[in-house]
Every structure is written in structure tokens, then in C-alpha cells.
Structure 1
């Protein structure tokens, strides 16, 4: 049989291999975590450089109520939950599979001060208020979606609350304008060749 057309046993073995969960461990901002992921989720085999850069530069208080917007399988949100044991960290994503894996990873790491929800941005968490909002924003984020996220975040952040995002460096001016338009302030926390971490504060009304 031609190598281009493997037999049924080979195909089934390959199919089973691809469906098997991926597992790895890593230390993020001083917190050692175990992750179970799968193909189809963002960066399933390792923590991406943007996420690591973001986590290393966020100010997190022990009693912060945190939001991880677009949580994937949970590396940002679960790290925040460890850093803020007296607060509640909410992880949301539009992808139900990502939320499922976030919940599994929270349980596997014994992290209980979290909730994982399928939500289009803030749609399912309108009753929450946050001290810290963060996101690894995709490069394809559009102007309208960014504005929606930032306006919703501002509305649901406590006075003095912080927002941190990481994006590809090519979007830094776009993010700067968005932060200044909505929060009236902007801090370029760290700019690298590939990624930039930016932050803003919700000033008291």
C-alpha cells in the first residue's frame, strides 16, 4: 500500500494521537502550574511569549478581583488567582472548549477562587466589578471590538482599578489611542521587538 494512503490501523492510531490531550508544566510570575490543553486552542504546547511578558509585569494585590478576558486554557487567569488568593478571578472566553480546559486546569492545580464562563466579552458578567482586568489581545482585534472591550472594562472596573493588555508591537499606537480615549491615561509598561505590554488606570469619577 502506498505511503500516501496509510492503512486503517495507522490512520486510527494517528487520529487517537491527535485527540489526546497535551500536558506540560511551567512557572509563570513565580507560580508553578500544570496545564492540560488540546489542538485548536491558542498556543497549546507551551506558554506564548506575549503571555509570559504580560504576567511578569503586572501589579497584582492579594485581594484583587481579577478578570482574564479571552482566557484560553487559563494561564493568565490561573496565575492571577494564585497571586490574589483573597480575591475572585473570573476567566471568560467565547470558545466553550477553552473555558472547559480552564476549569479543568483550575481543578488540577487546586485553585478554587476562580470562575470560568463562556462569554462574549462582558456579556455574561454585567454584574461584576473588577480591580484588575487583563487580556492577551489577538492581532486581529478590530477597532470596534477594542473600543467595546475598553468601554465595558472602564464601566466595570472599581476606581483605581488597573487594566493591562499585551499585543504585538505593531499595534502599540492603536492601543495607546484606545487607552487614552477611554481611560484618559496610558502607560507603556514594556515594549519588545515582538510584543508590547500597556496599562491604564480607572481614575475616580
Structure 2
């Protein structure tokens, strides 16, 4: 069991070797939450929650029912549910989801994530592009990683800008959804398929 405490909270977590950072709360994650100001009205998504540290920490400052935690791993979700009960924050929603694929809710004010940075960029790409659409205007996404340039470019493309906090050897990215802005990243064009359809039609004629 991990015990985490600071000047504001004391929390306990059951972990195992099948989940990320089982022996101690990840330094990058702690660095990320140090840059977040929680408000009582927040609606929070802990994306890739693991055994639940971020969402359970957030629920110390807001109503647990305003927190959603998600992960693709059954082991992580089982532990997250156990840790919700262990820390008396019943009411947190726990959802199995590959990125944001199964997150039907929207209107979040904060999305918090520590995406895997030793793999390709498909996971953070999902987090950033789909996360944008799940945020309220004025809502923010926070991501922590040790890789800088790709995240910087992607967040600028989708959100129009980002703040970068360098702390404890990590980069904490903070990007806000601004009013009336649409993401500028390119979606797959259907232009080619339309041309092929016209060509097939001509061939039939």
C-alpha cells in the first residue's frame, strides 16, 4: 500500500505490479497536480487513471460526483474502485475506455492525464483531439510528459496555444479551450472518395 500526504491531504492506495508506478506516486503526476487549481464547481476527467490517484486527489477539493476516472486496463479500474472506497470518496464515476472513445459525457472544466511517453503518439493524439471537444469553453487540459516538441506543436494546433511548466525534470502542459475556436488539425478528406464515386458512375454510364 502507498500512503501519500501533503499539507492538505492524506491518502492511501492499493496497487500491484500490473499498473503504472506501483511502489510510489509518480513524480510526473505529482508535478502536474501541483500546477492545477481546483475549484468547487469543477467537473474533472482523470484520463488514464491507473489506480486512481489524480481523481481521488481531486475529490478532496470537489464533490466526488463531479469526478470521472477512466482507463483501458481492467486491473487499473479494479484498483481504482477499491481506492475510491478506501479513501471515502464514493460517487466518483469509473469508466472503461480506450482514451476518450467511451466517454459520453462532456462539459468538463479539467482533463488531467499522464499519457505514456515511451510509445508512439496515438494515445496523446486521442487525448488532445477528442479532449478538446469534451471541454467547456474556458476548460483546460493538463498533460505531463518528458517529451516536449510534439506535445507543444499538437496543443498549439488544436488549442491555439499552450503554457509549458518545467518541473522535476518533466514538462507539464496547460492548454485552455478558447471561445469560438475550432481545431485546425486536418481530418481525413473525403475528396478522393468522391472523385472515385464520380468515376465509377461515369463507367456505369
TM (normalized to structure 2)? Answer: 0.82
1:187 Cα offset (Å) = 0.4
Structure 1 residue ranges without an equivalent (≥5)? 1-22
Larger strand percent: 1
Q: How many correspondences in the alignment?
A: 180
Structure 2 residue 135 is matched with structure 1 residue 157:
yes
The match for 1:199 among 165, 169, 174 is 174
- Give the secondary-structure state (helix, strand or coil) at the position aligned to 1:43: coil
Q: Deviations over 1:96-119 (max 9, x none)?
A: 110110111011111023111111
- Give the secondary-structure state (helix, strand or coil) at the position aligned to 1:163: strand
Q: Aligned ranges for residues 124-135 of structure 1 at < 5 Å? A: 124-135=102-113
CA distance in 2 between counterparts of 1:158 and 1:199 reads 15
1:87 Cα offset (Å) = 5.6
Structure 2 residue 101 is matched with structure 1 residue 123:
yes
Contact 1:99/1:118 (<8 A) preserved: yes
Structure 2 residue 85 is matched with structure 1 residue 107:
yes
CA distance in 2 between counterparts of 1:133 and 1:105 reads 20
Contact 2:31/2:168 (<8 A) preserved: no
CA distance in 2 between counterparts of 1:28 and 1:130 reads 26
Structure 2 residue ranges without an equivalent (≥5)? 181-205
Contact 1:136/1:167 (<8 A) preserved: yes
Contact 1:24/1:35 (<8 A) preserved: yes
- Give the secondary-structure state (helix, strand or coil) at the position aligned to 1:203: coil
Structure 2 residue 59 is matched with structure 1 residue 81:
yes
Contact 1:63/1:86 (<8 A) preserved: no
Q: Deviations over 1:144-166 (max 9, x none)?
A: 43222211111110010011011
Q: Deviations over 1:13-52 (max 9, x none)?
A: xxxxxxxxxx121125722111111111111111111011
CA distance in 1 between counterparts of 2:64 and 2:13 reads 23
- Give the secondary-structure state (helix, strand or coil) at the position aligned to 2:14: strand
- Give the secondary-structure state (helix, strand or coil) at the position aligned to 2:129: helix
TM (normalized to structure 1)? Answer: 0.82
**Closer, same or farther in 2 for the Cα pair 1:116/1:86, shift >3 Å?**
closer
Q: Which residue of 2 aligns with 1:186?
A: 162
Q: Aligned ranges for residues 55-70 of structure 1 at < 5 Å? A: 55-70=33-48
The match for 2:152 among 173, 176, 186 is 176
Q: Which moved more, 1:128-137 or 1:141-150?
A: 141-150
- Give the secondary-structure state (helix, strand or coil) at the position aligned to 1:154: helix
